[in-house]
């Protein structure tokens, strides 16, 4: 990956490294009848999106039974680590929040190197240099605002530390959410935010919940006025009729790419590669767009209501630094908020 912010972006790539070298193939070249068996898919995507993805894949590969384990990124990774210690990693394919997470898996030799032919349609910024993982979409964390409670929202993160909003904001926990962990790492390294920002959030009674879904629910219901939420969830709620508006703060926003990758010990390599190919294909990317995500393939249009990367200020930080300090960052957050 070349550009720093995309390199760091979590959203959620293709894992791949094999002792016999990088292989290249595509879904078009692979006979559908040759692909079957069971595929274990570990992901942090919402249940509804996982179901739609599997349904789309099975229309093309009906012979594959996809079994999904879904939880927050940190819990998904924790499950894989536990399986590794037990000597039996069950996951075949993983799709979670950010590239920082995949760098950890890569260092532990848990990924299979696979250069899908679909990669030629994807900007280099989204592709790991060793083809261990590939970004699947672009997701910015924004301010979700309840428009019933807030008539004139401010386009700045500082609104969360204003005394007028004391006790009226919510955010997901970096101890559960990979996107939140990425956000904490990036935002704490910005000169105009840093760890002082999180200290002030605590003083202003910021509520910390498990994941993005819980944070969005609190804002949509009017329980909270503001929430740090990934943009596609906020847009989805707005289109479904919730009194929600998306605010992209002027200071900038963290962006993740939800990479996907294949596990080194996959027991169904052929199906795993077909699954990754499908996610990265034009058809798979159109499915993502239909679900409200900003796709990575340039020929697939993003949903109305999401800002393009060219129109926003992106907050970033060196991937190597984020990777090395992630556990320390989570511990510091835990000391501040006590959960």
Rounded-to-integer distance, Cα 65 and Cα 103, Å: 28
Model confidence pLDDT, tens digit, residues 197-249: 999 999 999 999 999 999 999 999 999 999 999 999 999 999 999 999 999 99
β-strand pairing of 226-230 with 137-146 = antiparallel
Instruction: Give the C-alpha separation, 74 to 174, whole Å.
Output: 8
Model confidence at 21, in pLDDT bands (50, 70, 90)? very low
What is residue 96's DSSP assignment? -
pLDDT at residue 311, as a whole number = 82
Cβ neighbors of 52 (< 8 A, separation 6 or more) are 287, 291
CA angle at 262 for the pair 28 and 300, rounded to the nearest 5°: 50
- pTM, two decimals, is 0.80
- Residue 15 has what pLDDT? 34
pLDDT range class, residue 31, cuts 50, 70, 90 = low
Mean pLDDT along residues 177-188 = 95
Report percent pLDDT > 90 for the chain: 81
Give the separation between CA 330 and CA 335, rounded to whole angstroms: 9
Which of 23 and 210 is assigned the larger pLDDT?
A: 210
Average pLDDT on 38-64 reads 97
- Average pLDDT value over all residues in the chain: 90
pLDDT at 174 over 50: yes
Question: Which residues pair with residue 208 across a beta bridge?
Answer: 171
Domains of the chain (ranges; CATH) run 37-136+257-307 (3.40.190.10), 138-255+324-337 (3.40.190.10)
Provide DSSP, 38-85. Answer: EEEEEE-S-HHHHHHHHHHHHHH-TTEEEEEEE--HHHHHHHHHHHHH
């Amino acid at each position: 990956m070349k550009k720093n912010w995309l390199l760091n972006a979590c959203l959620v790539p293709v894992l791949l490294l094999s002792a016999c070298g990088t292989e290249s193939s595509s879904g078009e070249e692979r006979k559908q009848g040759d692909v079957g068996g069971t595929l274990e898919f570990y992901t942090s995507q919402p249940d509804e999106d996982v179901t739609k993805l599997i349904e789309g894949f099975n229309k093309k590969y009906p012979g594959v039974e996809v079994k999904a384990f879904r939880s927050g990124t940190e819990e998904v990774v924790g499950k894989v680590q536990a399986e590794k210690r037990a000597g039996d990693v069950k996951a075949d394919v993983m799709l979670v929040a950010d590239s920082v997470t995949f760098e950890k898996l890569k260092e532990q030799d848990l990924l299979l190197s696979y250069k899908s032919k679909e990669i030629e349609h994807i900007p280099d910024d989204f592709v790991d240099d060793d083809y261990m993982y590939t970004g699947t979409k672009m997701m910015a964390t924004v301010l979700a605002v309840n428009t019933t409670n807030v008539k004139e929202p401010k386009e700045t993160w500082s609104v969360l530390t204003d005394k007028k909003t004391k006790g009226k904001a919510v955010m997901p926990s970096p101890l559960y959410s990979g996107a939140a962990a990425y956000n904490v790492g990036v935002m704490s390294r910005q000169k105009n935010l840093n760890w002082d920002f999180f200290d002030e959030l605590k003083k202003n009674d910021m509520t910390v919940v498990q994941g993005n879904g819980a944070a969005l629910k609190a804002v949509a219901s009017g329980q909270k006025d503001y929430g740090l939420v990934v943009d596609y969830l906020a847009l989805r709620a707005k289109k479904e009729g919730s009194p929600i508006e998306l605010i992209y703060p002027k200071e900038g926003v963290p962006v993740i790419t939800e990479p996907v990758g294949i596990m080194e010990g996959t027991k169904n390599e052929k199906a795993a590669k077909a699954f990754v190919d499908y996610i990265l294909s034009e058809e798979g990317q159109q499915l993502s767009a239909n679900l409200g995500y900003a796709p990575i393939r340039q020929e697939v249009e993003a949903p109305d209501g999401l800002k393009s990367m060219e129109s926003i200020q992106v907050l970033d930080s060196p991937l190597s630094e984020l990777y090395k300090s992630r556990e320390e960052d989570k511990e510091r957050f835990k000391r501040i908020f006590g959960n």
